[in-house]
Amino acid sequence: MSEHLPPNHPPVPQQKVGVLLLNLGTPDATDYWSVRRYLKEFLSDPRVIETPKWLWWPILNLVILSFRPQKSGHAYAQIWDKERNDSPLRIISEAQTADLARRMSGDGVVVDYAMRYGNPSTRSVLEKMQQAGCQRILLVPLYPQYSATTTATANDKAFDALKAMRWQPAVRTAPAYFDDPNYVKALGDSIREGVAKLNFEPDVVITSYHGMPVDYLKKGDPYHCQCFKTTRLVREYLGWPKEKLMVTFQSRFGPTEWLQPYTDKTLEALPEKGIKKVAILAPAFSADCIETLEEIAMQGKETFMEAGGENYAYIPCLNDSPGGMDFVEAMVRRELSGWV
């Protein structure tokens, strides 16, 4: 191509296809200001908080951001990778990206990752990929179940970046994969393997999904139904009875009613019902993060054991496990059909 360019023409990179893995985000450090910057971006997103801006702005800036960063910073510090001085989510995202890039290397595909909130920002990575010659880019929001608060806002951020580009790449978005047979198999196998490694037999295995206000469900968000379908399909894949695998919702925020049953309240109540051995996982997350490692693995265990539980185990997310990455590769190859 360069042979036909006029003299002094800027170099033209070889055309490439890009794959951009998108996840929620993480602060850059655990100190007050790093966490505050992250929380402000996250909680200012109208896809996440649908309260009218005139009402939400003073609550967020004058109240929540005055005390929440200290509490969240302490929680992040509990799970922070001290050796690499980074968050587990970013470390795992880098590992997922490297693994997928290795798997796709023979196809000439450029693989990268970005965060909806925090760094690396979606805009910066999209610009880097476009400048590297990626004229076709597949956006892959790593959220199994669709929600406006996750999948939609991740795509929104990418579309905002595209608006500012003079030379836009062609873009595809990967769909939610809550009922994809390959995903169900990967998740089911991880549960079976996770339980097999335990030194006790769980009375019940809990699939704890990130919660959302009930009002969002009433407005048409399909997330609630997709969570239940994921668990039902996994239970059928495992061949377990209905009572062996249950659904709960975690991470409530604010005074409004959220999706139920609540994870923390369930963990408090189970020992009284004679259910004292529990394993738990968080299928709404593709990579372990503060909501899984601190809220579920740590706080959840404390809640359950104080209520009279005897055994408690957290089963990790798919992360960059071979089974999890087999699924991601299969999904990406399917969505790149016609491009690669």
Annotated binding site: 210, 291
- Is residue 296 within 8 Å of 282, Cβ to Cβ? yes
Cβ contact 242:204 at 8 Å: no
Spatial separation of the C-alpha atoms in residues 325 and 100, rounded to whole Å? 7
Name the pairing type of β-strands 204-210 and 277-281: parallel
Q: What angle do CA 261, 264, 270 make, to 5 degrees?
A: 80
> Per this entry, what is the length of the chain?
340
Q: Give the span between the Cα atoms of 101 and 107, in whole angstroms.
A: 10
> By CB neighbour count within 10 A (0-12 exposed, 13-18 middle, 19+ buried), where does 156 fall?
middle
Asked whether the beta carbons of 149 and 48 are under 8 A apart, the reply is yes
Q: Is the dihedral of CA 307, 308, 314, 315 positive or negative?
A: negative
Residues marked as binding for Fe(2+)?
210, 291
